[in-house]
């Protein structure tokens, strides 16, 4: 108590004593005048103090109420969760910014909305039951529920709702106070966890059927555990392993058994990784991949743990893939050859022949390797097509190509240049070799007419040119041989 409070207390005490003394004198009918003075003086001292004390209390009460209201407003607005006052019909009458942000609504728009319109129909019935009970005066706990709300953009958001009823000074229901906590992240995490658990469960169930997992004592003297995958993979009951852990060796392929039995000679703390085959009782051969290791405790080996995977389907697919690759490579090779060949006669087409001719030209420029280009043409070929039909013409081209092919060396190149023109590249050959080639082929071929069946003899013209330093381009080389061929054709015409 400070000095000011002490002085006030003494003054009040003196004033009260004066009033009490006056009342005593008046009560005993002694000195009524003095009694009146004491009462009046004491009372006049108490009244100002009481008045100003009351005013001070009133002022303090007003200040305290104002401070409390401001504190409440700050707490309501700055709360880390959504807060709302809701009237008895479900309409929002006060909301904080966190709730507006959570639901995506501006404050004014949310104040014109009811909680019913933001809730899923399936979530409302439980809320209504609690509201009816609490409004009826039943003793019920605050309402709490995990529920979903419609966000302004149409999506659903998860929240934890807690609601309590506020009563007025007459103890009548006034409004509801609700806290709405955003738990969307929690629900998403819960959903992902549930999905992970389901995936893990599915994987375990699938693995238990496709993979053999087992555990035994050292040396496989006693089988401690083996899953049902053994029955599907090996075609035998798991009981056979419990009765005799090494009975699985009975169906190991004879060529692989020694390698598998070496596992039992390994150190207990070793790992193994092995592939082998089994011959099931039904005669089917399966490819097995087995891995395993020893389990140690305090440096002492205790158990062996292994797993076996059936790789038969993988091996079969790999074999099919290898066969497909071989076929594909053959098809590509065939396609490449076809792309190089003339479709009618089967000799090289013009493009491929020119590639070989270019190689010969390069060899001459670098190493002076000789080569001779020959141009070959059928005489009066157009007349054959016109008078004896195109089939006869095609047969004539084929016959010429076959005859030319029969008379070249493996190092020589034969091609169809276009129409009835053929070209031959004599590698490492001079113009004299070209003349020998002409002599072998002859100056005509014989073909049966497709229309009459009568034999036809068609003449052949040749032209040749041995590469020399004057040949700078392929076109020059071709031109020289072509001119030579047309000179020969002119001779036949004349």
Question: With bands split at pLDDT 50, 70 and 90, how would you rate the model's confidence at 346?
Answer: very high
What integer pLDDT is reported at residue 334 of this predicted model?
Answer: 79
Query: What span, in angstroms and rounded, lies between the C-alpha atoms of 194 and 201?
Result: 10
Query: What span, in angstroms and rounded, lies between the C-alpha atoms of 323 and 331?
Result: 12
Mapped onto helix, strand or coil, the DSSP state of residue 82 is: strand
Mean pLDDT to the nearest integer, 460-472: 95
What integer pLDDT is reported at residue 16 of this predicted model?
Answer: 55
Q: Poorest-confidence range of 47-61, 250-264, 423-437?
A: 47-61
Mean pLDDT to the nearest integer, 127-137: 89
DSSP 219: G
Query: What are 63-73's pLDDT values in tens digits?
Result: 445 555 566 56
- Using an 8 Å Cβ cutoff, are 291 and 211 in contact? no
What integer pLDDT is reported at residue 26 of this predicted model?
Answer: 52
| Beta-carbon contacts of residue 108 (< 8 Å; ≥ 6 apart) | none
What integer pLDDT is reported at residue 6 of this predicted model?
Answer: 53
Mapped onto helix, strand or coil, the DSSP state of residue 39 is: helix
State whether the Cα torsion 230-232-235-237 is positive or negative. positive
Query: What are 138-159's pLDDT values in tens digits?
Result: 877 888 888 889 999 999 999 9
Query: What span, in angstroms and rounded, lies between the C-alpha atoms of 302 and 305?
Result: 10
What integer pLDDT is reported at residue 478 of this predicted model?
Answer: 95
Edge-first strand order for the sheet with 455-466 is 413-418, 421-427, 371-378, 455-466, 444-448
What's the alpha-carbon Rg for the chain, to the nearest Å? 56
Question: With bands split at pLDDT 50, 70 and 90, how would you rate the model's confidence at 462?
Answer: very high
Query: What span, in angstroms and rounded, lies between the C-alpha atoms of 230 and 213?
Result: 8
CA 176 remoteness from chain centre? 48
What integer pLDDT is reported at residue 296 of this predicted model?
Answer: 83
What integer pLDDT is reported at residue 46 of this predicted model?
Answer: 47
Query: What are 279-324's pLDDT values in tens digits?
Result: 999 999 999 999 988 888 787 888 888 889 999 888 888 888 888 8
What integer pLDDT is reported at residue 428 of this predicted model?
Answer: 95
Question: With bands split at pLDDT 50, 70 and 90, how would you rate the model's confidence at 349?
Answer: very high
Q: Poorest-confidence range of 41-45, 157-161, 410-414?
A: 41-45
Question: With bands split at pLDDT 50, 70 and 90, how would you rate the model's confidence at 468?
Answer: very high
What integer pLDDT is reported at residue 47 of this predicted model?
Answer: 44
Mean pLDDT to the nearest integer, 368-379: 95
* Single pTM value for the model: 0.42
What integer pLDDT is reported at residue 74 of this predicted model?
Answer: 66
Adjacent-strand bridge partners of 14: none
What integer pLDDT is reported at residue 282 of this predicted model?
Answer: 92
State whether the Cα torsion 24-25-26-29 is positive or negative. positive
Residue 15, pLDDT above cutoff 60? no
What integer pLDDT is reported at residue 240 of this predicted model?
Answer: 93
Long-range contacts of 470-473 (CB under 8 A, 24+ apart): 471/361, 471/364
Query: What span, in angstroms and rounded, lies between the C-alpha atoms of 472 and 474?
Result: 7
Higher pLDDT, 278 or 268: 278
Longest pairwise C-alpha distance within the chain: 185
Mean pLDDT to the nearest integer, 329-343: 84
Question: With bands split at pLDDT 50, 70 and 90, how would you rate the model's confidence at 328?
Answer: confident
Question: With bands split at pLDDT 50, 70 and 90, how would you rate the model's confidence at 2?
Answer: low
Question: With bands split at pLDDT 50, 70 and 90, how would you rate the model's confidence at 10?
Answer: low
- 10 Å CB burial of residue 308 (0-12, 13-18, 19+) is buried
Residue 216, pLDDT above cutoff 50? yes
Query: What are 101-121's pLDDT values in tens digits?
Result: 999 999 999 999 999 899 999
Q: Poorest-confidence range of 15-24, 255-264, 466-475?
A: 15-24
What integer pLDDT is reported at residue 54 of this predicted model?
Answer: 46
Q: Express as a percent the part of the chain with pLDDT over 70.
A: 82
What integer pLDDT is reported at residue 59 of this predicted model?
Answer: 40
Residue 50, pLDDT above cutoff 50? no
Q: How many helices (H) and strands (E) in the chain?
A: 15, 15
Question: With bands split at pLDDT 50, 70 and 90, how would you rate the model's confidence at 494?
Answer: very low
What integer pLDDT is reported at residue 69 of this predicted model?
Answer: 56
What integer pLDDT is reported at residue 23 of this predicted model?
Answer: 52
Query: What span, in angstroms and rounded, lies between the C-alpha atoms of 263 and 276?
Result: 12
Query: What span, in angstroms and rounded, lies between the C-alpha atoms of 389 and 43?
Result: 152
Residue 18, pLDDT above cutoff 60? no
């Amino acid at each position: 108590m400070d000095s000011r409070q002490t002085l006030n207390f003494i003054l009040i005490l003196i004033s009260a004593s004066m009033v009490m003394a006056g009342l005593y004198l008046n009560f005993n009918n002694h000195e009524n005048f003095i009694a009146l003075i004491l009462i009046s003086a004491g009372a006049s001292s108490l009244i100002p103090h009481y008045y100003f004390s009351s005013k001070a209390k009133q002022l303090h009460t007003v200040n305290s109420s104002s401070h409390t209201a401001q504190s409440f407003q700050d707490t309501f607005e700055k709360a880390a969760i959504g807060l709302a006052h809701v009237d008895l019909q479900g309409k929002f009458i006060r909301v904080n910014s966190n709730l507006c942000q959570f639901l995506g609504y501006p404050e004014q728009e949310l104040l014109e909305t009811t909680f019913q319109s933001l809730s899923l129909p399936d979530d409302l019935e439980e809320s209504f039951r609690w509201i009816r009970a609490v409004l009826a005066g039943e003793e019920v706990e605050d309402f709490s529920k995990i529920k979903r709300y419609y966000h302004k953009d149409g999506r659903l958001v998860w929240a934890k709702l807690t609601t309590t009823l506020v009563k007025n000074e007459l103890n009548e229901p006034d409004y509801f106070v609700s806290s709405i906590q955003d738990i969307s992240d929690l629900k998403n995490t819960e959903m992902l966890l549930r999905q992970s658990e389901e995936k893990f469960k599915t994987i375990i169930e699938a693995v238990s059927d496709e993979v053999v997992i087992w555990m035994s004592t050292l040396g496989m003297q006693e089988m401690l555990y083996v899953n049902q995958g053994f029955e599907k993979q090996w075609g035998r009951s798991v009981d056979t392993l419990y009765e005799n852990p090494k009975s699985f060796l009975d169906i190991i392929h004879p060529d692989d058994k020694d390698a598998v039995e070496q596992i039992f000679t390994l150190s207990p703390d070793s790992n193994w990784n092995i592939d082998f085959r089994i011959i099931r009782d039904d005669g089917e051969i399966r490819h097995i991949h087995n891995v395993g290791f020893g389990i140690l405790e305090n440096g002492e080996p205790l158990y062996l743990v292994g797993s076996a995977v059936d790789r038969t389907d993988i091996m079969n697919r790999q074999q099919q893939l290898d066969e497909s690759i071989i076929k594909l490579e053959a098809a590509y090779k065939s396609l490449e050859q076809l792309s190089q060949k003339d479709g009618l006669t089967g000799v090289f087409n013009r493009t491929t022949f020119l590639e070989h001719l270019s190689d010969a030209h390069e060899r001459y420029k670098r190493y002076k390797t000789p080569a001779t280009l020959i141009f070959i043409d059928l005489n009066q070929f157009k007349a054959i097509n016109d008078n004896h039909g195109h089939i006869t013409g095609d047969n004539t081209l084929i016959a010429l190509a076959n005859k030319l092919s029969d008379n070249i060396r493996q190092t020589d190149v034969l091609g169809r240049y276009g129409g009835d023109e053929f070209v031959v590249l004599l590698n490492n050959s001079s113009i004299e070799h070209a003349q020998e080639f002409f002599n072998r082929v002859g100056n005509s071929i014989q073909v049966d007419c497709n229309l009459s069946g009568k034999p036809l003899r068609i003449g052949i013209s040749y032209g040749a040119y041995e590469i020399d330093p004057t040949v700078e381009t392929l076109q020059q080389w071709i031109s020289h041989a072509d001119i030579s061929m047309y000179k020969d054709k002119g001779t036949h015409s004349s």
